[in-house]
């Protein structure tokens, strides 16, 4: 059994065109117009091989093989199709298109278990600042009330965006995990490890956990010319000092990572001293204790800096996820297959979180990485060698075929 590499790459080339920022990377937020176009493309391709699709209230899509029958356990391949702003063309969607290609190859096979492709909605958190929204509803980590808590930049809640789904529709989003035999996610590494070591495959053992906080600093807005330096309570200067303090605290540790990726100053005028600054800060590691330790240290530093600068600060937790060990038995199966096929691989950690994390708490889950050129991701330059993309999809096929007993 072999995937058709050209067909896979054609899908990816087609789908990279669905972006709000042509020429500046892929910007495709869940629930937006480009997202709709990508969904239509994938549903058409799946329809062409006789697969049936269902979309739940959160807009997660489940695509089933034509030979699926009720009552059998299933193997799920899944990832996402949304991106960050000006992101890359492979993050998420590579795993989805590879899953589609696997289904094309297996469409005429006899399967002992059902096979499903799942497209998780709103993985990147681009709309609401909270990642893995679709899979969190699937796992039950998010409840109905979260539909009101999650709001986008325009103040629209997730409930409004989903046009007020009924209780029954929402109940159906959560999966019955006893139906699941295993879940597989194929993804680009988004880091430099595989490329640096000259390997073409990664089998993920642990996924980093993370905590995201939002810090709101309030000073006093005033005239940029008439206010002497010593009379200022500049919210942006205070925020800048807080951010550099976070970097200073975490950097010597060498493993934990901390990022401030979003900052907004108000009123955002060149001639007005910023009155308010809001920024997010996230810390990630493979150990919860270390994440907690650093978030506590950073929070204390932020409070001290704001006190010294006589500005107010409010800190709230936006989201958190635990580090996660993926299924060791499934990892061993994948290692065996990689060795059999003579694919150079390694077992590794994932610094990025993925939808697989939400499923891994409830069912056997495995993750496969392919190398990222220059280790870059979430930027327009994100790329992977075509031969690595095709080999990764081929490996996904081998694993899926082994798990579903395809013949």
DSSP code, position 229:
G
Q: Which is nearer to Zn ion, 246 or 352 (CB)?
A: 352
Q: Which two tokens stand for residue 219?
A: 């000073």
Q: Which is nearer to Zn ion, 26 or 217 (CB)?
A: 26
Q: Which is nearer to Zn ion, 92 or 366 (CB)?
A: 92
Q: Which is nearer to Zn ion, 35 or 91 (CB)?
A: 91
Candidates 87, 128, 143; CA nearest to 212 is 128
Alpha helix segments (H runs only) across 228-379? 235-250, 288-308, 328-340, 355-360
Q: Torsion angle, CA of 8/10/12/18, rounded to 10 degrees? A: -150
Shortest gap between Cβ of 323 and Zn ion (angstroms)? 17
Q: Which is nearer to Zn ion, 132 or 239 (CB)?
A: 132
- Binding marks (x or -) toward Zn ion, 50..89, rule CB under 5 A? ----------------------------------------
Shortest gap between Cβ of 146 and Zn ion (angstroms)? 21
Shortest gap between Cβ of 137 and Zn ion (angstroms)? 18
Find out whether 349 and 206 touch, Cβ atoms under 8 Å.
yes
Q: Which is nearer to Zn ion, 101 or 114 (CB)?
A: 101
- Residue whose pair of structure tokens reads 């054609």 in the numeric block: 10
Q: Which residues pair with 213 in a beta bridge?
A: 281, 317
Angle between the N-to-C axes of helices 386-404 and 93-106, in degrees from 0 to 180, rounded to the nearest 10 = 50
Q: Which is nearer to Zn ion, 87 or 165 (CB)?
A: 87
Dump the DSSP string for 187-211.
Answer: EE--SSHHHHTT-SEEEEEEE-EEE
Give the Cα separation of 23 and 80 in Å (integer): 22
Q: Is 355 in the site for Zn ion (CB under 5 A)?
A: no
Shortest gap between Cβ of 190 and Zn ion (angstroms)? 7
Give the Cα separation of 115 and 99 in Å (integer): 10
Q: Name the residue number minimizing CB distance to Zn ion.
A: 92
Q: Which is nearer to Zn ion, 92 or 274 (CB)?
A: 92
Shortest gap between Cβ of 296 and Zn ion (angstroms)? 29
- Binding marks (x or -) toward Zn ion, 84..103, rule CB under 5 A? -------xx-----------
Dump the DSSP string for 47-68.
Answer: HHTT-EEEE-TT--EEEE-TT-
What values do phi and psi take at 116, rounded to 5? -135, 145
Q: Which two tokens stand for residue 305?
A: 């800096």
- Region of 71 on the Ramachandran plot (φ > 0 left; ψ -120 to 50 alpha; else beta): left
Query: Could you tell me how far CA 270 lies from the centroid of its own chain?
Result: 35
Size of the site for Zn ion (CB under 5 A): 2
Shortest gap between Cβ of 80 and Zn ion (angstroms)? 6
Shortest gap between Cβ of 395 and Zn ion (angstroms)? 18
Q: Which is nearer to Zn ion, 31 or 120 (CB)?
A: 120
Give the Cα separation of 89 and 41 in Å (integer): 15
Distances (CA, A) of 313 to 38, 128, 276: 41, 22, 10
Q: Which is nearer to Zn ion, 56 or 189 (CB)?
A: 189
Q: Which two tokens stand for residue 391?
A: 């080999």
Shortest gap between Cβ of 200 and Zn ion (angstroms)? 19
Interacting residues with Zn ion (CB under 5 A): 91-92
């Amino acid at each position: 059994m072999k995937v058709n590499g050209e067909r896979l790459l054609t899908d990816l080339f087609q789908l990279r065109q669905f972006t709000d920022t042509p020429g500046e990377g892929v910007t495709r937020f869940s629930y937006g117009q480009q997202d709709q176009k990508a969904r239509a493309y994938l549903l058409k391709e799946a329809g062409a091989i006789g697969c049936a699709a269902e979309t739940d209230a959160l807009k997660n899509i489940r695509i089933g093989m034509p030979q699926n029958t009720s009552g059998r356990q299933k193997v799920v391949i899944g990832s996402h199709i949304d991106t960050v702003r000006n992101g890359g063309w492979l993050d998420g969607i590579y795993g989805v298109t590879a899953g589609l290609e696997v289904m094309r190859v297996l469409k005429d096979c006899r399967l002992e278990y059902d096979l499903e492709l799942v497209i998780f909605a709103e993985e990147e958190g681009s709309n609401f600042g909270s990642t893995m929204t679709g899979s969190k509803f699937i796992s039950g980590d998010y409840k109905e009330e979260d539909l009101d808590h999650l709001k986008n930049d325009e103040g629209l809640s997730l409930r409004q965006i989903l046009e007020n789904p009924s209780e029954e529709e929402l109940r159906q989003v959560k999966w019955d995990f006893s139906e699941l035999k295993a879940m597989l996610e194929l993804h680009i590494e988004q880091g430099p490890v595989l490329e640096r070591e000259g390997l073409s495959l990664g089998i993920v053992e642990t996924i980093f956990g993370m905590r995201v906080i939002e810090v709101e600093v309030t000073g006093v807005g005033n005239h940029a010319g008439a206010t002497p330096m010593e009379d200022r309570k500049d919210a942006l200067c205070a925020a800048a000092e807080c951010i550099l303090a976070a970097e200073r605290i975490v950097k010597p540790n060498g493993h934990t990572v901390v990022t401030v990726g979003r900052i907004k100053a108000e009123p955002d005028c060149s001639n007005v001293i910023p009155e308010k600054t809001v920024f997010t800060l996230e810390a990630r590691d493979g150990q919860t204790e270390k994440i907690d330790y650093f978030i506590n240290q950073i929070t204390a530093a932020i409070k001290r800096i704001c006190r010294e600068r006589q500005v107010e600060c409010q800190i709230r937790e936006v989201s958190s996820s635990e580090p996660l060990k993926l299924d060791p038995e499934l990892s061993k199966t994948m290692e065996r297959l990689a060795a059999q096929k003579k694919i150079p691989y390694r077992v590794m950690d994932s610094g990025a979180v993925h939808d697989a994390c939400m499923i891994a708490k409830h069912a056997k889950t495995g993750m496969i990485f392919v190398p990222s050129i220059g280790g870059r991701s979430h930027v327009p330059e994100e790329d992977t060698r075509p031969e690595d993309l095709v080999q990764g999809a081929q490996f996904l096929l081998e694993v899926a075929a082994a798990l579903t007993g395809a013949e």
